[in-house]
Every structure is written in structure tokens, then in C-alpha cells.
Amino acid sequence: MALPGELWAELPAEKRIFTSVLLFSWAVYLWEAFLAHRQRRVYRTTTHVPWELGQIMDSETFEKSRLYQLDKSTFSFWSGLYSELEGTMILICGGIPFLWNLSGQISGRAGFGPEYEIVQSLVFLLLATLFSALTGLPWSLYNTFVIEEKHGFNQQVLVTIYADYIAPLFDKFIPLPEGELKQQIEVMAKSIDFPLTKVYVVEGSKRSSHSNAYFYGFFKNKRIVLFDTLLEDYSALNKEPVEGEEGENEETKSKTKNKKQGCKNEEVLAVLGHELGHWKLGHTVKNIIISQMNSFLCFFLFAVLIGRKELFAAFGFYETQPTLIGLMIIFQFIFSPYNEILSFCLTVLSRRFEFQADAFAKELGKAKDLYSALIKLNKDNLGFPVSDWIFSMWHYSHPPLLERLQALKDAKQE
């Protein structure tokens, strides 16, 4: 009687590759499902505000956050299961070679024969994108118009694709008016030699009530962007509706009554102190270097593996070896174990950077204000402050709220 190892060794190389890809894909899914289950258990069982937040987070906000995250986790479970089943069926049923052959037929009818691989590749990408958009649209709509709407984050009246991808291109960037906040931002930037040229406020509240801030620009031309939802004095969500305004209803009044809090000027400065810490400590440059080194390694390995016929045969390509298909096979399937390890390492590094940026804000004397700002932002975004340690370690690029607060607490006491 042959042992499993002997049976495995007797399989053709392409069969071993295909089976390994499927098994690893399901191993990753089951691991992710296990972590998500642990975190959902935290959402279900943690029904009281942690004592560390007892004086600064009310029970109503905590419960809203808990239910929001529970709904998101449940949605992720079902959408993830569907995605994994869909991917498995595509591989088993030969969906990739089928779509490639269909692309060849379409390009052939347009007068482009098999020698026009680039044209066939473009058609393949178009068909794959359409398929992905159609199968993903119901999940995207449910997430935006059911879950986000239920918990008060969705501000859309338009199609999700427009709001997520097109609207940001036309967001209104308004220069931050002259005043105390702008002056303080400029002083802080100058104190750390940050080459600030302009400060903008963007009307993010038109699409979402999540808060954010970031900087961009090259060399000596840096600009800071603040979402209006971050600023207590600018957020449209904090403005009282005009009596008799067209379109006003009970839902609008309710949202205004339960308005988002935003941050005071001192807290906005603390958040910016954290973001500028990433620049001052070279985190952005380090991430770029890591990204470039990873790209070089991946393309080097791609050049080594692209000539292996068994890789193409494993996914149903016995006679042709299209470059685009080779890219898909190698980067999406063969590199999967490497990508999982790299992703975890980058998550660990990102958390380290976040602690370092918090420490930088401390050195600027912003510990107390950053402490309160983190709590407010967590509240405004309905972030849940309690996490399963394994789930957090694997997924969170930012440390959990309680860990960051504990690190800042010592500085506050000092």
C-alpha cells in the first residue's frame, strides 16, 4: 500500500503545484476565519466599557461601536466565504483558460490573430474586471447602503463606484482660513523643519463621516490636508440644519442631534504631530525603500520562473504561455506564502512606526492632547477599543487603542 508521501511524489509536477495552491489558499482562509471568530467573540462578550475608558467613553457610544464592528465582522465572514468558494470554482473549472480563450475569440473577430498577444491580454483584463465588478457589486452595495447606512457613516445618494473612486477626484480642497489653528500648524511645522507650503480642508463629510488627515508632496513642497470631519469647528456634521430646509427629515435631525464630536485645535495639532513624526523619523522613505526592494525581488523571481512550463500547465495552459497569465500565476498564486509572511512583517513594522510617531508627538508636548484626540477619533469612527490579541497582532497595522493610550498615559502623568 502506497503511503501518502509516495502518492504525492508520483503526481505530475503540474498537479502538485495546482493542489498546493488550492490547499494553501484554503489554509489561509481557515486561519483568517479562525481569527475573525476570536474577534467576533470579543465583540459579543465585551458589553461594558473597559475601566481605562470609563471616565471618557459613554456606554451608548461603546455599544454603537460594538454593534457596528459585529455587523462588519459578520459581513466579512460571508463575503470572504463567497470569495473563497468563487476562487476555488474558477480554478477547478478552468475559468482562467476559458476566459483567455474567449478573449482570443473576441480579439480574433476584431481582426487580431494569436500573434497579437497584447490585444488579447487587454481583452482578458477587461472581461476579468467586468466579472469581478459584477460579482462584487452586490456585496459592495450591501456594505455601503445597509451596514454603513445603518450605523450612520454613509452620506451617499449616488452609486458606490462614483462615491469611492470618482468623487475624491473632485473633492473641494479649501485653504485653511487664516487664524490660530493655521498659525499653530505653521509654527509646529517650522519647529521640525517640515517644508510646509499649504494647508487644506477637504469636505470629506459629503461622502463619509470618518475622520482623517494626511500630508503629501515632494521635496520642499509639502501640503497638509485635514478632513472637515476631523475639525470640530468645520465639520458639516456639527452644523444645525436650517429650519424649513428642503429635504430635511427626521433622519437628518436625528443625525444632527447625535452629531460627531471632531477634535479641538489642540487635539488637531497633536494628530498632526503624530503624522509629521512619520515624516521626521523617515518612515515614509523606509516604506518606499522596502517596497522597491520587494518589487525588485519579485520581478527577479518572476524572470526565473516565467519559463517553467509546468506552472502554466498547472492552470490549464498546455500549449501557450502568455506573459499576462504568467504574471497572474506567479504573483497571485505562487508568491502567496511569501506575500502572507511579508504582509505580517509589514504589519509588525507599521505598528512599531505608529508607536514611534506617538512618541514623537509626546516629545512635542502633545501627549495629553493626542490621548484625548485618539479617543475622540475612535469614537467618531465607531472603532471598538477591545481586540483579541492574535487577531490584533495579525491584522492591525495600527496598535489597538488601549495599547496606545497606555503608552501615552505615562507621559501624561510625567
Do 268 and 372 touch, CB atoms closer than 8 A?
A: no
d(CA 203, CA 200): 10
Tell me which DSSP letter residue 246 carries: T
Query: Is 358 marked active-site?
Result: yes
Annotated binding residue 354:
yes
Query: Does 210 show up as a binding residue in the annotation?
Result: no
The DSSP line for 105-131 is HHHHHTT--TT-HHHHHHHHHHHHHHH
> What's the rounded Cα separation, in Å, for the pair 309 and 372?
58
Please, which residues bridge with residue 199 across strands? 224
Catalytic residue among 358, 369, 380, 388: 358
Find out whether 148 is annotated in a ligand binding site.
Answer: no
Secondary structure element (H or E) that encloses residue 299, with its range: helix 283-305
In angstroms, how far is CA 17 from the centroid of its own chain?
30
Residue by residue, DSSP assigns 369-380 as: HHHHHHHHHHHH
Torsion region of 362: left, alpha or beta (phi above 0 gives left; psi -120 to 50 gives alpha): alpha
| Residues that are catalytic | 275, 358
Binding-site positions read 274, 278, 354
Binding residues for Zn(2+): 274, 278, 354
